[in-house]
Structure 1
Amino acid sequence: MTRQIVVAVDGSAPASAAVEWATADARRKGLGLRIVHVCEQGQHGAEQCADILEVAADRARALGGGIEVTTELLAGGVAETLLAESVKADSLVIGSRGLGGFKGLVLGSVGMAVAGHADGPVVVVRGPAAETHERVVVGYDGSPHADAAMEYAIDQARRRDAALHVVYGWTMPAFSPYAVAYDSLIEGVMQEEERAARDRLTPWRERHPDVWITEAHACEHPVAALIEASKRADLVVVGSRGRGGLASAVLGSVSHGVLHHVTCPVAVVRPRPEVTS
């Protein structure tokens, strides 16, 4: 089964930006685009729900260059319905805030549920892109979720003919300033973190020599490192969970920081469950 890119709409401005992002991604990947609207009871009438889908589909077809665009009205709870959609989607694209069923989507419980539990990548779009930087940023700490994020980021960079910038931030363990050789302890930890970060990237560079991979690792909170890097990025990619410097990414403080402050699209990637026969 060929996966489609699924984008959820509700008539809000961020959802319209999500349609534009999803359409461009579908064109790059040569995939179909499925536009869905969850018509919750008491939110919109059937006619208004249909109009929301029609407007989104018209916009996608105008920008899509001939990609297949399909639409469907869905019923049920927003989070549960979109999680079900993610199972058969290449990726799920949503606006950062919306109307009706999407109110508080990213900053509230619904958004966290979708980003943290979707079966595959979730892309959160805040608004139209103001400029293009030809750079994808990924937070990477070597965890399984970060590996999934790296795979997605490499594919995005390749299809965009863009550079991939890998970010790793860590916090310094607590040392007593009165400890013997305090300065050398700090320097040793920093050197070890930087060496480990470089070593983790070596296999990725060897497997993907066609992608220009740059890196930045610094002794600072991962949120600060990713926010700074995002200022010159077209997309920021993080794993739904991590370890070390990216621990609890997306579902914890790191995710909240990134989603609160990063203005470019953010992709949250969760490894898909292994299929057993």
Structure 2
Amino acid sequence: MPETATPPDSSPQPIVVGVDGSQTSYQAVAWAAAEAAARGWPLHVVVAFGVQPSHEPWTARGVAEHEAVRDEARRVLAEAARIAHRVAPEDTISLTTEAVDELVLPTLIERSARARMMVVGNRGRGAIRRALLGSVSAGLARRSHCPVAIVHEEPDIGRNAADGPVVVGVDGSQNSLPAVRMAFEEASQRKAPLVAVHAWSDTSGFDLEVVGWEAIRQSEDVLLAENLAGFAEEFPDVSVERHVRCDTPVRTLLDFADGAQLLVVGSHGRGGFDSMVLGSVSAALLHAATCPVLVVRHQPVPR
């Protein structure tokens, strides 16, 4: 049962951040608090400390251990609240917390149905030893009902946020369009430039014929421009840079994400057909990128 009440369905949709007591999860809290304060959204912090059910009866030792984990969950929430209010003072953010004696991944997936955005760290084994957020970040990105931000442990999270661009991967498919829209929204909100990247080949580029590359590049650039045209008209305040590379999407996006404040990608691309499958590009970026990665499903929750 929750230690504190879950925000009612009638409440404004919050940013929900999952914590486990690890440094990376606290970094996710700091990032989520800054996002919530900037947008005037509520922030809800969740720690899930449940274990797989067992047919064996609880022993006195087991009950004591369970209570110790519950107490640790409360301490993790208190620390998360302290970090959130250090980033966003109490009068600038609406903050609620919740400790849940349930499995972490199902808990976060369920909370995502009523959230604007989910935020977790990319890895970590924290004080809540049975709730390893690093092991569920990809699972949440795969099955969340709303966009998911994966935050990496960087000592100076504000450095990139101050002056870096928002980077978005565009593959030309319908699946990538929600990610493009959200990237424009993020860039507009942050008053940051948008770097739109299209890597049209799944090869390294070193084994391709040089002859004809310029014509191919121009054709792919036209495709990229067509994918951005409507959004550029809707968000005239966002300056856009277009880049076409003959290289693997992962390597290309990592190059441009170096120094970015946010990388936005779709949950799956041209070959994606199952809403439960996280694309290979998105999955690789969750762990390899150093900036926060925002994964947007091709059918996001209506806002």
Q: Which one of 131, 134, 138 corresponds to residue 159 of structure 2?
A: 131
Count of aligned positions? 263
Residue 11 of structure 1 pairs with residue 21 of structure 2: yes
Q: Which one of 251, 258, 263 corresponds to residue 236 of structure 1?
A: 263
Residue number in structure 2 paired with 1:218 = 245
User: In the alignment, is the contact (CA less than 8 A) between 1:134 and 1:161 conserved in 2?
Assistant: no
Q: Which moved more, 1:63-72 or 1:255-264?
A: 255-264
Unaligned runs of 5+ in 2: 1-9, 52-64
Q: Which one of 144, 151, 168 corresponds to residue 198 of structure 2?
A: 168
Counterparts in 2 of 1:30 and 1:186: CA distance versus 1, 3 Å: same
Q: Which one of 33, 46, 51 corresponds to residue 23 of structure 1?
A: 33
CA separation in 2, counterparts of 1:255 and 1:222? 10
Q: Which moved more, 1:74-83 or 1:6-15?
A: 74-83
Q: Which structure 2 residues correspond to residues 57-136 of structure 1 after superposition, within 5 A? A: 57-65=81-89, 66=91, 67-99=93-125, 100-103=129-132, 105-106=133-134, 108=135, 110-128=136-154, 129=157, 131-132=159-160, 133-136=163-166
Q: 1:144: how far off?
A: 3.3
CA RMSD of aligned residues (A): 2.6
Residue number in structure 1 paired with 2:76 = 52
TM-score, normalised on structure 2? 0.79
Q: Which one of 228, 239, 254 corresponds to residue 281 of structure 2?
A: 254
Q: Which moved more, 1:78-87 or 1:256-265?
A: 256-265
Q: 1:272: how far off?
A: 4.0
Q: Which moved more, 1:27-36 or 1:253-262?
A: 253-262
Counterparts in 2 of 1:196 and 1:77: CA distance versus 1, 3 Å: same
Task: Describe the SS at the equivalent of 1:225.
Answer: helix
Task: Describe the SS at the equivalent of 2:50.
Answer: coil
Q: Which structure 2 residues correspond to residues 27-42 of structure 1 after superposition, within 5 A? A: 27-41=37-51
CA separation in 2, counterparts of 1:4 and 1:267? 16
Q: Deviations over 1:69-107 (max 9, x none)?
A: 10011132211110001110110000111223443x45x
User: In the alignment, is the contact (CA less than 8 A) between 1:120 and 1:271 conserved in 2?
Assistant: no
Partner amino acid for 2:76?
I
Q: Which moved more, 1:194-203 or 1:40-49?
A: 40-49
Residue number in structure 1 paired with 2:182 = 152
CA separation in 1, counterparts of 2:263 and 2:239? 16
Q: Which moved more, 1:3-12 or 1:254-263?
A: 254-263
CA separation in 2, counterparts of 1:209 and 1:186? 32
User: In the alignment, is the contact (CA less than 8 A) between 2:178 and 2:300 conserved in 1?
Assistant: no
CA separation in 2, counterparts of 1:259 and 1:143? 21
CA separation in 1, counterparts of 2:138 and 2:69? 27
CA separation in 2, counterparts of 1:86 and 1:261? 24
Q: Identity of paired residues, percent?
A: 35
Q: Which moved more, 1:158-167 or 1:182-191?
A: 182-191
Partner amino acid for 1:80?
P
Q: Deviations over 1:99-127 (max 9, x none)?
A: 23443x45x4x332211110111001112
CA separation in 2, counterparts of 1:53 and 1:145? 36
CA separation in 1, counterparts of 2:213 and 2:237? 36
Q: Which moved more, 1:87-96 or 1:34-43?
A: 34-43
